[in-house]
Structure 1
Amino acid sequence: MSTDKTDEVVKESSNDKVELKKEINLLNGIGIIVGSIIGSGIFVSPTEVFIKSGSPGSALIIWFLCGIFSLIGAYCYMELGTMITRSGGDYAYVLDAFGPFIAFLRLWVDVIVARPVSQAIIALVFAEYTLEALYIGCVSPIMAKRLLAAGCIGILTFINCYSVRWSTLVQDILSYAKVFALLIIIMTGIVKLAQGDTGNWENAFADSSTNPGDYAMAFYAGLFAYNGWNYLNCLIEEMKNPRRDLPLSILISMILIIFIYVLTNMAYFTILLPSEILNTKAVAVTVAIRLYGVMWWIMPIFVAMSTFGGVNGNLLATSRIFFVAAQENQMPMILETINVKYYTPVPSVLFVSLVSLVYLCFSDINILINYMGFVNWLAIGVAVFTVIWFRYKDPSKPRPIRVHLAFPIIYCVATVILLILSFVGGPYESLMGIVIILTAAPVYWIFVLWKKPKSFQDKLDNITVVLQKLFYVVPSQKKVE
């Protein structure tokens, strides 16, 4: 876009640069990670982990190992986040390490399916458990779920467009609510254990699966519940003291989450029979119905609050990935602009939300999540591998946190093993995930490499100017004159 056209957008005088403001402190960082990780996973994934692992003992080990695996990955991201202090997370690291094409493959996964579909799924879970108290004993209408999920996305879109401080405050409050809900379940489990309800633990490993593919799929289900530990890295430019607060936020959050998740699952298996866990959509709600009497409805409300925060965390992180990608000319230029009044990336936030709303119209979008399980952890594994690559490529680069190379090596080897086993447990889903990645190649050639004719480019520039005026935005770092 020409400078003259861009300068037409904003003409008010100001001495400030239009850029993302540094408003995220340590407490906000912890809230973003905890609020992003604790979404729908810990309430619905225990059933899938138990089905695949076959026994309470094996399931509990899976939950612990998933936590340790995620902690190792998060530890590696501490080095990357303090070394490359640019928002965008995985995308930014892969871009610096392997160049624009590989980075675009990573971006394409996020754009086409992973992030917006995940957001749509979490919003639908929010709607389902919000309606649980209204449709007692009945199946809530699908249209009501879609409309409520759309309302959830709409409200959070407004908040994220209006203020980063508001969005982090929402995340903080909901994080407290989520932890409180899980502590209720944990304390209930402790009371039941003290009363002698240890039946499920007497033969804890009976009926454990002997199929490695089953354990790979159980691991995926557990990792889904831990997903979100890398979201704060996407917002690092908005942190007040990233080199101090990013590592502390990650460490405190991950230790807290592992502790809570393991104890929560112990409580599930203490309170419920295996058959009850196998036949429920949300284990926490089943616990509430069985033990909390007329107050059972409080748990669906907590699940709804948890998923509401999950949507908020996803929206915060994803909008920043697209924002950085637009700065690299791999997304439309309008997505790298910032609102002059609120200093938020309004177009990027709206883009993520609109794509998510489109997915709400599909009858079954859960299958897309199955396709992306393989691809998502492949992409994160590649990002962790950049720790090793940067040590070779740029060993003298300042690293405020320098992890021992054993950790990224362990993570990458474990990722390779997990990916291989996933072909045993879900070959079709894994192959479809790879196909989705490969579709990025022609898109990259047409929309990134191809030099458009001047007349066509001028039309795109005119559209961008119209959108800039509509949303009152200018490119990041541009002075408002």
Structure 2
Amino acid sequence: MNGGTVEKEKVADMTKNAGDGVELKKRITLFNGVAIIVGSIIGSGIFVTPKGVLEGAGSVWLSMIVWCGCGLLSLVGALCYAELGTTIVRSGGDYAYILETFGPCLAFLQLWVNLIIIRPTAQAIVALTFAYYALQPIYLACSPPEIAVRLLAAICISILTAVNVLSVRAATRIQDIFTVAKLLALFIITIAGLVMIGFGEVEYFQNGFENTSTDVGSVSLAFYSGLFAYAGWNFLNFVTEEMKDPFKNLPRAIYISIPIVSFVYVMANIAYFTVISPREMLESNAVAVTFGDKVFGVMSWIIPLFVALSTFGGVNGLLFTSGRLFYVGAREGHLPEFFAMIHIKRFTPMPAMLFTGVMSLIMLISDDIFSLINYMSFVQWLSVGMSVLSLLYLRYKRPEMKRPIQFPIAVPIIFLCAVVFLLCVPLYAAPKDTGMGVLIVLSGLPVYVIGVKWKSKPKAFTNFIESLTMKAQKICMVALQEDTCSLDQSS
């Protein structure tokens, strides 16, 4: 134990030399917040999912209505999260809200599925999408080799993990730049579509309700596909503690971001239908690439390039918020203490960032990665539903809580009803995938009992873990945020 004390004293000395408290700094501005939301939402979805929306909707105009409806639903959900984020001013998003309302067990299960499946697989899939489109201009006549795609995806994850470990400012700068690139790509597609409309290319809009689906299940799946493209609207809540003036900037970022995304999504879909028939869209696995081939000719390679830029920024946004989620989970005692530590000079959650990066690289090896993410759609909406339910619960049980923002009670109730409907869809449409998702969630129960609830672990085991943590702490030059308080008091 003396060795552990010496290690703590060394870290304390390094912290003093750093000249600042060991904590995550408030460096995220309003513009950065908008970039995080827009950059997290706009990934590969808008470039490929219009096919899924049209498949469920059946007609051009109903698919447009679905895109607008998904944007409106995302905005209503984001408004609920604006209230949650300014009432419970903690990073961690859904995890923090479920922990505050429903206690540690359910919060741990939410953290568990994010830890082992949702976040690593999402990061790996978006990185693979980046690699595929980045290599496509080189392999014009065929698909890129799988080994090259996986290698480039691994390089992408490694570079962005390193950036997020080294500097919060650099990570947010990357997010800003690539968000602008994404919007530029969709702006070019939209302008090209408007030019085509100017040339009279409106054939597919004239009988736009032809083949409209009347099956509730099919239309529901169309909404599911559209909402996949809007995923990420709640990501800013994962980094609330690092925002400058979160009471003002969190809701402002939401009010600005969601309408921007909704507008560019609808306009991009209008552009697609100027030259792509409904039949062609249903046959295409990459609608934006098909659009580029038809409109840009020899310059069609710019569309895969823009998709690559978009997904690169998407990986950065996922890594940035995932690291904060695991950091908060460790701070609450639900993950090893080492993951709750911060670099004493760079003020980044270095261990948590390295962990999420390594987990994503491991997922690249799996051949079943897309199956895993299918299992988790139900769980993700369940987390959102529980967060909104916590908002209603806290309104009723703790009316004295400070709420800088409070929307009419109808707003969270309407959104919760929509979430319940979205939870019922996979039970009907994909019961096997839903069942697997639930089983993966329940697999966290024994881990919770042994790792969190069991306090009287053998002393030899706890000493070993403490020694290991101290060594890792010294190597990585990290310390707990609480160490700052003791240092300040001692000085």
User: Same fold per TM (> 0.5)?
Assistant: yes
1-side partners of 2:278 and 2:410: how far apart? 38
Name which of structure 1's ranges 2-11 and 191-200 shifts more when overlaid on structure 2: 2-11
Give the alignment partner of residue 463 of structure 2, picking from 458, 461, 468.
458
**Deviation of the 1:4 alpha carbon:** 5.6
1:471 equivalent in alignment to 2:476: yes
Matches within 5 A, 1:30-179: 30-179=34-183
1-side partners of 2:118 and 2:53: how far apart? 21
Which residue is 1:9 aligned to?
Answer: 11
**Deviation of the 1:197 alpha carbon:** 1.4
1-side partners of 2:132 and 2:266: how far apart? 25
Q: Equivalent residue of 1:391, what SS? A: helix
Q: Equivalent residue of 1:85, what SS? A: coil
Contact 1:32 1:231 in 2 (8 A): yes
The amino acid of 2:299's aligned partner reads M
**Deviation of the 1:8 alpha carbon:** 3.7
2-side partners of 1:263 and 1:431: how far apart? 37
Give the alignment partner of residue 444 of structure 2, picking from 429, 440, 454.
440
**Deviation of the 1:421 alpha carbon:** 2.2
Give the alignment partner of residue 427 of structure 1, picking from 421, 431, 445.
431
Matches within 5 A, 1:314-329: 314-329=318-333
Structure 1 moving runs of 4+ over 4 Å: 1-5
Contact 2:323 2:352 in 1 (8 A): yes
Q: Equivalent residue of 2:479, what SS? A: strand
Contact 2:78 2:233 in 1 (8 A): yes
Q: Equivalent residue of 1:9, what SS? A: helix
Which residue is 1:301 aligned to?
Answer: 305
1:399 equivalent in alignment to 2:407: no
What are the ranges of 5 or more consecutive residues in structure 2 without an aligned counterpart?
none
1-side partners of 2:8 and 2:104: how far apart? 26
**Deviation of the 1:386 alpha carbon:** 1.2
2-side partners of 1:35 and 1:147: how far apart? 24
2-side partners of 1:249 and 1:394: how far apart? 27
Which residue is 1:313 aligned to?
Answer: 317
1:380-421, CA deviations, whole angstroms, 9 ceiling, x for partnerless residues?
A: 111111110110121011100011110110011111112112
Give the alignment partner of residue 25 of structure 2, picking from 21, 24, 29.
21
1:329-374, CA deviations, whole angstroms, 9 ceiling, x for partnerless residues?
A: 1011111000011110010001101111111001131111111111
Matches within 5 A, 1:218-257: 218-257=222-261
Which residue is 1:408 aligned to?
Answer: 412
Contact 2:340 2:352 in 1 (8 A): yes
1-side partners of 2:413 and 2:60: how far apart? 30
Give the alignment partner of residue 271 of structure 1, picking from 243, 264, 275.
275
How does the TM-score come out when normalised to structure 1?
0.97
**Deviation of the 1:208 alpha carbon:** 2.2
**Deviation of the 1:271 alpha carbon:** 2.0
**Deviation of the 1:7 alpha carbon:** 3.1
1:279-326, CA deviations, whole angstroms, 9 ceiling, x for partnerless residues?
A: 222211111111112111111111001000100000111111110110
1-side partners of 2:9 and 2:145: how far apart? 49
Which residue is 2:336 aligned to?
Answer: 332
1:212 equivalent in alignment to 2:216: yes
Among the aligned pairs, what percent are the same residue? 48
1:6-28, CA deviations, whole angstroms, 9 ceiling, x for partnerless residues?
A: 33435233442100011111111
1-side partners of 2:413 and 2:6: how far apart? 50
1:138-160, CA deviations, whole angstroms, 9 ceiling, x for partnerless residues?
A: 11111101100000001101110
Contact 2:7 2:474 in 1 (8 A): no
Contact 2:40 2:235 in 1 (8 A): yes
What are the ranges of 5 or more consecutive residues in structure 1 without an aligned counterpart?
none
**Deviation of the 1:137 alpha carbon:** 1.7
Contact 2:129 2:308 in 1 (8 A): yes
2-side partners of 1:332 and 1:238: how far apart? 22
Contact 2:56 2:221 in 1 (8 A): yes
Contact 2:127 2:153 in 1 (8 A): yes
Contact 1:117 1:356 in 2 (8 A): yes
Which residue is 1:418 aligned to?
Answer: 422
The amino acid of 2:55's aligned partner reads I
How does the TM-score come out when normalised to structure 2?
0.95
The amino acid of 1:9's aligned partner reads V
Name which of structure 1's ranges 170-179 and 206-215 shifts more when overlaid on structure 2: 206-215
The amino acid of 1:428's aligned partner reads K
1:118-176, CA deviations, whole angstroms, 9 ceiling, x for partnerless residues?
A: 00000000000000001002111111011000000011011100110000000000010
Query: Given the superposition, is the C-alpha separation of residues 3 and 241 from structure 1 closer, same or farther in structure 2, using an over 3 Å criterion?
Result: farther
Which residue is 1:198 aligned to?
Answer: 202
Query: Given the superposition, is the C-alpha separation of residues 148 and 228 from structure 1 closer, same or farther in structure 2, using an over 3 Å criterion?
Result: same
Q: Equivalent residue of 1:11, what SS? A: helix
1:189 equivalent in alignment to 2:193: yes
Contact 2:381 2:422 in 1 (8 A): no
**Deviation of the 1:190 alpha carbon:** 1.1
1-side partners of 2:295 and 2:200: how far apart? 16
Please provide the CA RMSD for this pair: 1.4
The amino acid of 1:250's aligned partner reads I
Matches within 5 A, 1:321-360: 321-360=325-364
1-side partners of 2:310 and 2:482: how far apart? 35
Contact 2:45 2:229 in 1 (8 A): yes
The amino acid of 1:459's aligned partner reads F
Q: Equivalent residue of 2:345, what SS? A: coil
**Deviation of the 1:5 alpha carbon:** 4.5
Which residue is 1:373 aligned to?
Answer: 377
